[in-house]
Amino acid sequence: NAGVTQTPKFQVLKTGQSMTLQCAQDMNHEYMSWYRQDPGMGLRLIHYSVGAGITDQGEVPNGYNVSRSTTEDFPLRLLSAAPSQTSVYFCASSARAYGYTFGSGTRLTVV
Amino acid sequence: QQQVKQSPQSLIVQKGGIPIINCAYENTAFDYFPWYQQFPGKGPALLIAIRPDVSEKKEGRFTISFNKSAKQFSLHIMDSQPGDSATYFCAASKGGAGSYQLTFGKGTKLSVIP
């Protein structure tokens, strides 16, 4: 039982590059979310999904794209990386709208 | 606009002490208030949560106190141990269609000294 798996754990990108952060859960959870964590800022919601085919924007969606084609996977795409997107990214899932389980994070640096 | 305000930013206590972390919110539509614990290099983990229909909830050494009229809630850690050293986040979410959106406080870094 792996829980929420995020890959890669670390990534360095050049400004303007694109990439996809992967998130997979094996708990058959309906709800999935992406957060970014910056020093002194807490966690801020980027995008979320309430089921396959259904996504919506959170507090800080600009520069990010998501899709949810299966229950298990919820990838986060950076369209054109900027230094302001340097952060630690967490994916989370829940069987209901409360009690989220978080992954171990992806530390992204944009140079 | 910061919807959930958390204090203090950092806290140092002796082993056996009772650290208290406070949070305040503005939005009266919030109806679920969880606390998360995060160790360095790890994701946040749900610690304990409360709804506004109760004033206190205990799970082991962790207690949430909730004051609905003041729109404040706090986390108390009884008999704190060095292993409790971590960053703690309070959060809040609305019921209904907004219930999948957690709004987090900025976090409190707790250090428990042996």
- CA dist., res. B67 & res. B47, Å (int): 19
- CA dist., res. B73 & res. B23, Å (int): 5
- CA dist., res. A26 & res. A11, Å (int): 24
Predicted local distance difference test score (pLDDT) of residue B94: 82
* Closest chain B residue to A47, measured at CA: B101
Of the candidates B41, B49, B105, which has its C-beta nearest A42's C-beta? B105
Predicted local distance difference test score (pLDDT) of residue A97: 60
- In contact, A71 and A51? CB cutoff 8 Å: yes
Select from A24, A110, A97, A25 the least CA-distant residue to A64.
A110
Is B43 in contact with A4 (Cβ distance < 8 A)? Answer: yes
pLDDT digits (tens, 9 = 90+) for B61-95: 999 999 999 999 999 999 999 999 999 999 998 86
Q: Which residues contact A10 (CB under 8 A, 6 or more apart)?
A: A106, A107, A108
- CA dist., res. A2 & res. B88, Å (int): 24
pLDDT digits (tens, 9 = 90+) for B5-54: 999 999 999 999 999 999 999 998 898 899 999 999 999 999 999 988 89
pLDDT at position B97 over 80: no
Band of pLDDT at residue A1, cut at 50, 70 and 90: low
Q: Which residues contact B17 (CB under 8 A, 6 or more apart)?
A: B80, B112
Percent of residues, chain A, with pLDDT higher than 90: 86
The nearest CA of chain B is from the CA of A17 a distance in Å of: 25
* Closest chain B residue to A10, measured at CA: B41
pLDDT at position A78 over 90: yes
Burial label, A25 (beta-carbon count in 10 A; 0-12, 13-18, 19+)? buried
The nearest CA of chain A is from the CA of B113 a distance in Å of: 23
* Closest chain B residue to A100, measured at CA: B46
Residues A63-76, mean pLDDT to the nearest whole number: 97
- CA dist., res. B21 & res. B66, Å (int): 12
